[in-house]
Amino acid sequence: MRRREFIAFLTGALTDWPSNAFAKQRHLMTQIALTPEEFHAAYPKLQAWIQKTLATYEIDAQPIASMRFARLPLYFDHTSLEAARFIPIDRVPTPPLAAMGLDRFAAFEQGDFNGVTYLDRYFIKRPVVTEEALHFHELIHVAQWRLLGPESFLTAYANGLDEFGYENSPLEKMAYDAEASFRRSSVIFDADKFVAERLARPQ
Ligand SMILES: [Zn+2]
């Protein structure tokens, strides 16, 4: 895996709707070196951080059904929606990358995001917690995490970046494409099946 791919994974796959300031930082960060050794050292720490963070906030995790969204149940199957939870929060948690040995990414920790998905949990900022399309987008990521598993999620994202570049990496493009269809209210589709079929496509 090349350095910029891991960086793009950290800045792209885990987070959404970066602020303008962060978008500039992201551009800068893609210019910075990350060796395979640094990646292999950081990845288990990232996984451990995700588990710890989710355990800490599990008490605040809300069932999707509690929002009484009318449209989400039309797109996701009942089991998927039942398993996922969201955590309303003032500031979404991001990994302490500097503490993981990635000092150069300290600026990332200052980033301010509307939403972030880790496995089948997503954090969402309180001011946008009523926006159904943002829940939809994060639920697409939940489906990706579930269908791929964390390591394959990372590998698929990196491979996609290698061929298509950050902006069009398949996992993120998939989420935005699905969200756009949802926002257009055009045709109702099976979102889990949509993700599974897109993942099955040759990359
Ligand atoms: Zn996304």
Looking at the whole model, is its pTM more than 0.75? Answer: yes
pLDDT tens digits for range 86-111? 999 999 998 786 777 766 555 556 66
Do 170 and 198 touch, CB atoms closer than 8 A?
yes
- Cα(12) to centroid(ligand 1), Å: 7
- Cα(175) to centroid(ligand 1), Å: 6
pLDDT tens digits for range 164-201? 665 677 888 899 999 999 999 878 999 999 999 998 88
pLDDT category at 148 given cuts 50, 70, 90 is very high
- Cα(73) to centroid(ligand 1), Å: 20
Closest CA to 140 of 43, 13, 40, 52: 13
Rg of the chain's alpha carbons, rounded to an integer? 16
- Cα(66) to centroid(ligand 1), Å: 22
Residue ranges near ligand 1 (ion) with Cβ within 5 Å: 16, 175
- Cα(117) to centroid(ligand 1), Å: 8
Domains in the chain: boundaries: 3-200
Of residues 18 and 75, the one with the higher pLDDT is: 75
Do 203 and 160 touch, CB atoms closer than 8 A?
yes
